[in-house]
Homo-oligomer: A and B are copies of this chain.
Amino acid sequence: MNAPKTEKSDNSHDPRLDDDCPLHWFDADRGAFEDLERRIAEHPADFFASQDFDPVGACATREAQFASVDLPEDPTAPQAHADHLLHDVFRHVMPVASPSFVGHMTSSLPSFMPSLAKIVAALNQNVVKLETSGALTGLERQVIGMLHKLVFAREGDFYAQWLHNPEHSLGAFCAGGTTANLAALWASRNNVLRARDGFAGVHNAGLMAALRHYGYDGLAIVVSERGHYSLRKAADVLGIGRDNLVPVAVDGDGRMRIDKLRDTLGDLQASNIRTMAIVGIAGSTETGAVDPLDAMADVAQEAGCHFHVDAAWGGATLLSERERGRFAGIERADSVVIDAHKQFYVPMGAGMVLFRDPAWTQEIIQHANYIVRKGSVDLGRHTLEGSRGAAAVMLYANLHLLGRKGLARLIDTGIDNAKFFAGLIEQQADFELDSRPQLCILTYRYVPEPVRTALVSASTPAETREQIQQALDALTISIQEMQRDAGRSFVSRTQLTSSQWGGRAIAVFRVVLANPDTTRDILQGVLAEQRALAARSPMLAPLMALV
């Protein structure tokens, strides 16, 4: 049976409203927003390429635009507000869907995504509980199950037994990778310090009581020095402390060194610090490096600690038959984080945490009288977050509309493009590749030929070499900012310990090639633009004076 048919409100006959203050609720004047939809959402890359669009100076000039803290008293007419949004807001966002903006992890989206986002917003379901989400509760569990199988491929009747079991969960959607990592490490902490022998467990008694009961002086999370900053935040939030996120050195390819990992575990044990979790990075944010997951799983197993894999960026690589071998060992993790809003190409923000064993969520389960009741199938019983939108629908659609093969094509294309670009950089006499792409990310910098000659020459004093490196850092930063401000193209930048320069931290350009519309011509254009910008940079002359 159906809900009763309602009349659309008509302001002129609505007893709630008076003429002085029309309420734009279900009014008829939606044309303004439909026009905005056509101009922007039809094909965002075209909007970004149009004459209207102007990302330049969005920071400096925008503060004046957004200075008032007074609430508007009266309603603004829809057309006037739509015009304002177009001219003062959307015209000055960042063109992340532009194929020449290759510095971000969010790129372009499939064409049907904005439509689906509109429908999801209109339905406004809340997946925290069945009563506000209906079929979407089952759909989210299925999508989590699909991803779980992609990662863990559990056998027998595992999925038949657990997929829709209300007392358990194979994982959850989260707002993003940060909350997904936090959720995984929350479950980890609550498992390692769980209830036993009359002790109520860390979740009930708190961390000090738990550490006293277990006889530890602290907990530690061990991760490579390339771990995402969200892990440090998680260590802070969970009461473990940022100093107890212990970094392990990486090899020349940016992968955790297993010998250093073993040293670290030994040191922690000697200090009576319990290693709560070892975290593997499967696609580092800065260079796309993938840790030796299988060897790390061995160490975690020996040490009897949680093995977590942060695959927020790289996880989608598992879709590619050609590339998934790089992730061998991920199926041995206790928990894995993957972001759908990265290489699964759904809109912001959709992270996922997956638990190998459904019992893991027992330590974070909760309930309330008015929601997420005991015994219910409500998803909110097992999640860090409470009320949530139906982000799972977007991923569900992409998995079907693109298929595994289509998504794999996107992954492979990105990696092919990264290899092409790395080769192109190596062919240039005045560019230096810093990190070779494992996935579709790479780093490099502009180094004029005489500078490179001086840097590698045995006759250049160490002090001069260091001065050159500092001047190169300044030039790299200058070029990146000039390129950003010109608004034609974009690469990001970071600072990385460089194995080819004796472990010195150097500033580098960082490129992420996730947009399938990024052509090889565009990449050649990025280098040409950077070379031209270098010639105009005020940081070039001080550098050249050193050689």
* Closest B residue, CB atoms, query A390: B348
Does A124 make an interface contact (CB < 8 A)? Answer: yes
A59 within 8 A of B: yes
Q: Is residue A246 contacting chain B, with contact meaning CB distance below 8 A?
A: no
Partner of A387, one of B44, B90, B178: B178
CB distance from A349 to the nearest CB of B (A): 5
Find A142's partner among B33, B67, B109 (CB 8 Å cutoff). Answer: B67
Q: Name the one of B32, B190, B366, B370 contacting A492, with C-beta atoms under 8 angstroms.
A: B370
- Given A69-B148, A149-B69, the answer on whether A75 and B405 have CB atoms closer than 8 Å is yes
Interchain CA distance A206-B112 in the complex, whole Å? 46
Q: Which of A50-58, A254-262, A293-301, A444-452 makes up part of the contact surface?
A: A50-58
Nearest CB of B to A93, in Å:
4
The answer to whether B401 and A81 have CB atoms under 8 Å apart is yes
Q: Across the interface, which residues of B come within 8 angstroms of A41, CB to CB?
A: 118-119, 121-122
Residues on B with C-beta less than 8 A from A90 are: 119, 123, 135
Cα(A9)–Cα(B517), bound, Å:
8
Do residues A369 and B286 form an inter-chain contact, with CB atoms below 8 A?
Answer: yes
In the complex, how many angstroms separate the beta carbon of A440 from the nearest chain B beta carbon?
Answer: 14
Check: A244 CB closer than 8 A to any chain B CB. yes
For the complex, what is the distance from the CA of A70 to the CA of B243, rounded to whole Å? 42
A30: which B residues are within 8 A, CB to CB? 111-112, 115
Q: Which of A123, A149, A484 neighbours the largest number of chain B CB atoms within 10 Å of its CB?
A: A123
Q: CB distance A400 to B76 under 8 Å?
A: yes
Copies in the complex: 2
Q: Which residues of B contact A138 (CB under 8 A)?
A: 58-59, 62-63, 65-66
Please, what's the 1-or-0 string for A89-119, where 1 marks a CB less than 8 Å from any CB in chain B? Answer: 1111111111111011110011111111111
Q: Give every chain B residue within 8 A of A70 (Cβ-Cβ).
A: 146, 149
Q: Is B131 in contact with A94, judged by CB distance below 8 angstroms?
A: yes
Q: Are A218 and B206 in contact (CB under 8 A)?
A: yes
Known contacts A115-B33, A240-B206; A89 and B131 CB within 8 A of each other: no
Please give, as numbers and ranges, the residues of chain B lying within 8 Å of A114 by CB-CB distance: 118-119, 121-122
Q: In the complex, which of the residues B189, B388, B488 contacts A1, with contact meaning CB atoms closer than 8 Å?
A: B488
**Docked complex Cα distance between A106 and B110 (Å):** 29
Asked whether A268 is an interface residue with its Cβ less than 8 Å from the other chain, the reply is: no
| Bitwise interface map of A from 521 to 535 toward B, beta carbon under 8 Å scored 1, else 0 | 010010000000000
Known: A44-B122, A112-B24, A386-B177. A16 touches B55 (CB 8 A): no
**Is the Cβ of A3 less than 8 Å from the Cβ of B135?**
no
Of the candidate stretches A225-233, A420-428, A539-547, the one touching chain B is A225-233
| A474 CB-CB contact with B under 8 Å | no
Q: Could you tell me if B403 and A76 are in contact, using CB atoms closer than 8 angstroms?
A: yes
Given contacts A6-B517, A100-B3, A389-B349, contact A66 B121 (CB under 8 A): no
Roughly how many angstroms separate A349 CA and B140 CA in the complex, as a whole number? 16
A142–B68 Cα gap in the complex (Å)? 7
Contact B186 A206 (CB under 8 A): no
With a CB–CB cut-off of 8 A, which chain B residues contact A413? Answer: 16
Q: Measured between C-beta atoms, what is the minimum distance from A334 to chain B in Å?
A: 19
Tell whether, in the assembled complex, residue A69 and residue B145 are in contact, meaning their CB atoms are under 8 Å apart. yes
Residue A40 interfacial (CB < 8 Å): yes
Q: Which residues of B contact A492 (CB under 8 A)?
A: 131, 370
B348 touches A239 (CB 8 A): no
Known contacts A159-B69, A403-B74, A516-B25; A109 and B121 CB within 8 A of each other: yes
Judge if A21 is at the interface, Cβ distance under 8 Å. yes
Output the least CB separation between A265 and chain B (Å). 18
Minimum distance in angstroms from A49 CB to a CB of chain B: 4
Distance in Å: Cβ of A63 to nearest Cβ of chain B:
5
Within 8 A of B (CB), among A370-400: 370-372, 377, 384-390, 393, 397, 399-400
A358 at the interface (CB under 8 A from B): no
CA distance A111 to B364 in the complex (A): 38
21 contacts between A and B (CB under 8 A): A1-B488, A2-B48, A33-B115, A59-B377, A62-B139, A66-B139, A72-B399, A73-B403, A75-B406, A76-B403, A78-B401, A81-B401, A89-B135, A124-B347, A175-B388, A190-B236, A206-B241, A228-B368, A229-B386, A237-B237, A369-B496
